[in-house]
Amino acid sequence: MTVTRGSVRREVRVRRPADDVWRWVGDAARLPEWWPGITAAKVEGDERTITLGSGIPMPEKLLTIDAIQRRFQYRITGPIFREHTSTIDVHDLGDGTSLVVYSIDADPATMALVIAGAAGNALQHLRQLVEGES
């Protein structure tokens, strides 16, 4: 049995309201600010190209940027990936805090692990940034 498609999820609780988190997550160009290992992001319409720390450019198609649901979805369209969708949901927990859930589906499955690992680290960084805002 060979797994070709992988699904991995990472999450973080942020002690700030969901709208505060969404200001970071919902702006496609701000990704390098909160994702260690992404050095640049260029957005043109529904296309975004990020640059990885290793220098590799990665083209993406932006699928959903929904400020009401606070949902951000994108698809990596570059080589290596046969299929990919990542979804970032920012949930309002109703007590002035929020839960950010980063879900990755990818084929090859290995890339789901790679993205999830980096996303988990990025979510922690995001939490620090948002909670550190005055």
Partner 1 sequence: MGRKILLITTDQQRYDTLGCNGGTIARTPVVDALAASGIRYERCHPQSVVCMPSRSTILTGQYPSTHGVWMNGVPLPLDAPSVAELLRTSGYRTALVGKPHFQPFFDPFQRFLENSLGDSTVPSGGSHRGFEHLEFATHGPVGPLHYSRWLAAMHPEAIGMFYRVLDDALQVNADGGGDTAAPQVHVNAIQRGWYHTDWVADRTIAWLDSLAADDDWFCWMSFPDPHHPWDPPESEVGRINWRDVPLPAGYPARREERERILDAKPRHWRMWYDGTLVSNYEAPARWVPATLTDDQVREVNARNAVECELIDEALGRVLRRVDERGWADDVDVIFTTDHGELQGDFGLLFKGPYHVDALMRLPLVWRPAPSTQPTASVVTRPVGLVDLAPTLCEIAGLPAADWMQGAALPVNDPDAESRGFERVLTEWDSELFGVGVHLRTITRAGWVLTRYLPGTVHDGSEGELYDLVADPLQQHNRWNDPSCRGVRDDLFDDLLDHTPPTRRPRLQLEAPV
Residues that bind partner 1 (CB under 8 A): 1-4, 6-8, 10, 36-38, 52-54, 56, 80, 108-114, 117-118, 120-121
Residue entry with tokens 């109703």? 94
Question: What strands lie across the sheet with 47-52, from one edge to the other?
Answer: 6-14, 98-107, 83-92, 71-76, 57-66, 47-52, 38-44
C-alpha torsion sign, points 33, 9, 19, 60: positive
Separation of alpha carbons 83 and 4, rounded Å:
10
Quote the least distance from Cβ 90 to partner 1, whole Å: 20
How does strand 71-76 pair with strand 57-66?
A: antiparallel
Using the minimum distance from each CB to partner 1, give the nearer residue, 6 or 71: 6
Quote the least distance from Cβ 115 to partner 1, whole Å: 9
Quote the least distance from Cβ 126 to partner 1, whole Å: 15
Quote the least distance from Cβ 120 to partner 1, whole Å: 5
Using the minimum distance from each CB to partner 1, give the nearer residue, 14 or 18: 14
Using the minimum distance from each CB to partner 1, give the nearer residue, 49 or 121: 121
Report residue 29 as tokens: 């160009």
Using the minimum distance from each CB to partner 1, give the nearer residue, 25 or 118: 118
